Amino acid sequence: MKVSLVKNILQANDRIAEQNRMLFQEKGILALNVMSGPGAGKTTLIERTIRALDGEYRIGVIEGDIQSTYDAEKIAATGAQVVQINTGGACHLDGNMIRETFDQLNLDEIDVLIVENVGNLVCPAEFSVGEKHKVMLLSTPEGDDKPLKYPLMFHESTVLLVNKIDLLPYLDCSVEKIRTEATKINPNLNIFEVSGKTGEGMDAWFNWLRKSANGTA
Amino acid sequence: MKVSLVKNILQANDRIAEQNRMLFQEKGILALNVMSGPGAGKTTLIERTIRALDGEYRIGVIEGDIQSTYDAEKIAATGAQVVQINTGGACHLDGNMIRETFDQLNLDEIDVLIVENVGNLVCPAEFSVGEKHKVMLLSTPEGDDKPLKYPLMFHESTVLLVNKIDLLPYLDCSVEKIRTEATKINPNLNIFEVSGKTGEGMDAWFNWLRKSANGTA
């Protein structure tokens, strides 16, 4: 009974997410659902991406947090359109929360919509928000055992950004092991090694994003 | 209806957790529910704690992971009693999962039972497993904005271990800010700055644990 209930919730979400997806398609918007554990560097990555692609793509952002508006304020400072969702305790975003932001965004002036999910390596992977691609971050301090311990997000994502590579000299973390284990779970995963802090490795991610926005990825 | 359902699930869990709590009390076991985001260093902290208190307290461990047995293997290498729970997708442990391990543990030979929850800074804080205290870790690479973004776990915990302080020279993270914001949410929080890697600061945590096990904290 608990299982069928969960299934009903997921199916109801899938219907709304599908409506969002059709709307994004109709408007020519590339929608990305960016997920990771807490503090893996999602907001910094998004800030850098907006600044780097300024003039090429109009990027809009939906910020998901349990509470607070810090992340939306950081994004607003870039000049991008941004809406903050406070989930009030809920551990992930869902299709309905995204739909409810549409009256606060001018979707006709957005080429790429980045949804920053709640920091949680588990639950967000189960709920589509209508994105074309799920993009996940794993930061090197979290350790190289994460793919096998939290497989669903690696399985569902199109892109894995291994972030905070600037910290590698101070950690016992093998990016090679992350690559091997993540690829076992999802052979099609696009893996980029980046540092949101120094900017290292970000060009490969920007190029993937360009290709996706142009419909060729 | 969704809200009342969630309330029912939480109430059902509270009843089982309370039965666990009474059993631990009857057997003179100090039960701790250790929680954090993924990769904050729970397992390393528990390993170090077992080795440091060897001969003083018999520590048993219940390892919670979505999948895999890595963490239980690490703990087993210390010689401690350990049981692995694989939640098969679920994002937190609950009272019933803990109860189901009791036939695999010799509770009469445990003074301190450490439950290592699934790596998730959100959901585990809502579900008691029958612990006397919730103990949370926040690792410095996760950043100093986490108390205000994920307040519930800080609110519910008795102890906050600020872990990975060995990485502070390479990060933009203020432990002072963590202390200030966490204390605003929970003025009674016991905060210890530690490095599970180097062992720095661990004595204060061991002393808190000794006092708690002896019933004086």
For chains A and B, CB pairs below 8 A equal 105
Quick: pLDDT tens for A153-165. 999 999 999 999 9
In this prediction, residue B1 carries a pLDDT of 45
How, if at all, do strands A81-86 and A133-139 pair? unpaired
The rounded distance, in Å, linking the Cα atoms of A132 and A25 is 9
Predicted confidence band of residue A1 (pLDDT cuts 50, 70, 90)? very low
Best residue in A63, A117, A142 to probe B by mutation, most B CBs within 10 Å? A142
**Any idea how long chain A is?**
217
List of chain B residues whose C-beta atoms are within 8 Å of the C-beta of residue A150 = 38, 66-67, 119
Contact A91 B167 (CB under 8 A): no
B150 reaches A (C-beta below 8 A): yes
In this prediction, residue B8 carries a pLDDT of 85
Q: If residue A42 lies in a helix (H) or strand (E), which one and from where to where?
A: helix A42-52
List of chain B residues whose C-beta atoms are within 8 Å of the C-beta of residue A37 = 37-39, 119, 121
Contact B125, B10 (CB under 8 A): no
A186: phi > 0 → left, psi -120 to 50 → alpha, else beta; which?
beta
The rounded distance, in Å, linking the Cα atoms of A42 and B112 is 38
Residue B144 has pLDDT above 70, yes or no: yes
The rounded distance, in Å, linking the Cα atoms of A183 and A178 is 8
Residue B134 has pLDDT above 50, yes or no: yes
List of chain A residues whose C-beta atoms are within 8 Å of the C-beta of residue B124 = none
CATH class of B2-213: alpha beta
Best residue in B47, B121, B155 to probe A by mutation, most A CBs within 10 Å? B121
**Which chain B residue's Cα is nearest to A125?**
B89
Predicted confidence band of residue A188 (pLDDT cuts 50, 70, 90)? very high
List of chain A residues whose C-beta atoms are within 8 Å of the C-beta of residue B123 = 91, 120, 122-123
List of chain A residues whose C-beta atoms are within 8 Å of the C-beta of residue B142 = 38-39
Predicted confidence band of residue A215 (pLDDT cuts 50, 70, 90)? confident
A12 reaches B (C-beta below 8 A): no
Quick: pLDDT tens for B88-119. 999 999 999 999 999 999 999 999 999 999 99
Predicted confidence band of residue B2 (pLDDT cuts 50, 70, 90)? low
Q: Mean per-residue pLDDT for B120-137?
A: 97
Residue A17 has pLDDT above 90, yes or no: yes
Residue boundaries of the structural domains of chain A = 2-213
In this prediction, residue B185 carries a pLDDT of 98
B49 reaches A (C-beta below 8 A): no
**Least confident residue range of A5-19, A194-208, B104-118:** A5-19
Residue B5 has pLDDT above 80, yes or no: no
Q: If residue A184 lies in a helix (H) or strand (E), which one and from where to where?
A: helix A175-185
In this prediction, residue A10 carries a pLDDT of 87
DSSP secondary structure of chain B: -HHHHHHHHHHHHHHHHHHHHHHHHHTT-EEEEEE-STTSSHHHHHHHHHHHTTTT--EEEEEEESS-SHHHHHHHTTT-EEEEEE-TT-SS--HHHHHTTGGGS-GGG-SEEEEE--S-SSGGGG---S-SEEEEEEEGGG-TTHHHHSHHHHHH-SEEEEE-GGGGGGS---HHHHHHHHHHH-TT-EEEE--TTT-TTHHHHHHHHHHHHTT--
Residue B203 has pLDDT above 70, yes or no: yes
In this prediction, residue B3 carries a pLDDT of 61
In this prediction, residue A9 carries a pLDDT of 85
The whole-angstrom distance between residue B11's C-alpha and the CA centroid of its chain comes to: 21
Quick: pLDDT tens for B40-86. 999 999 999 999 999 999 999 999 999 999 999 999 999 999 999 99
Burial class of residue B107 in the structure, from the number of CB atoms within 10 Å of its CB (0-12 exposed, 13-18 middle, 19+ buried):
middle
In this prediction, residue A216 carries a pLDDT of 66
List of chain A residues whose C-beta atoms are within 8 Å of the C-beta of residue B5 = 5
Q: What is the mean pLDDT of chain A?
A: 96
Q: Which residues contact B173 (CB under 8 A, 6 or more apart)?
A: B140, B141, B143, B144
In this prediction, residue B217 carries a pLDDT of 57
B121 reaches A (C-beta below 8 A): yes
